[in-house]
Amino acid sequence: MPLRREQITVAADILTSAFANDPKIAYLFSQKGEGHTIQSELFRFELTYTLRYGWVYTTPDPLRGVALWLPSDKSEITTFRGLISGGIRLQRKIGKEAMNRVLEFSHHIDKKHMTEMPYSHLYLFVLGVHPDYQNQGVAGRLIRPVLDHVEKIGIDCYLTTQNEENIGFYEHFGFEMISNEYLELMQVPVITMKKTGKY
């Protein structure tokens, strides 16, 4: 079911818990030390952005997980799009140093994304399930309806993950790996995957 705007705070908390041990989050906030509250600001921003430009799906109450989807032409968070989606608040909350790391990492992902998928497709921006509900099929239920729909109409899907343990899960849903690299300076793996729509 679609996420309602008034559920953003709860959804951001869920994603913060889901990504508590994620290498990307560890890198982005390595100098902050404020923990859950600061990290949730990034997810609040991403949820706000995706509600504006894409689609956010969740479970019926209680919320257990969230899936954020973007059309490929809105996957790059430009300066203008970022500003009207809460970019100023984000920088104020997380600080300039963390914001610079967010921008640096995002630039790398955007460049890789545009190189690997230079045509129209659907982007699975974020998928996260609260730890209390992981390994119970929640993530699959969140993404399957969208995947079934885009397969019928022949649209490819793309994603990135920073956790190699996720590869098998996505392969189960028809994704195939495009690339797997390790960013030494950031100490973050970046795995990209693609699901081809059937025509």
Task: Provide the pLDDT for residue 151.
Answer: 87
> What CATH number has the domain bearing residue 75?
3.40.630.30
**Model confidence, pTM:** 0.94
- For 159, phi then psi, to 5°, come to -155, 160
Question: Which three-class secondary structure state does DSSP give residue 22?
Answer: coil
Burial class (CB in 10 A: 0-12, 13-18, 19+), 132: exposed
pLDDT in tens, the chain (199 residues): 999 999 999 999 999 999 998 999 989 987 645 567 889 999 999 999 999 999 999 999 899 999 999 999 999 999 999 999 999 999 999 999 999 999 999 999 999 999 999 999 999 999 999 999 999 999 999 999 999 999 888 999 999 999 999 999 999 999 999 999 999 878 899 999 999 987 5
- Give whole-number Cα distances, 96 to 6, 28, 40, 102, 178, in Å: 28, 11, 16, 10, 33
Amino acid at 161: T
Range of the domain at 173: 5-195
- Per the CB < 8 A criterion, the answer to whether 58 and 37 are in contact is no
* Number of compact structural domains in the chain: 1
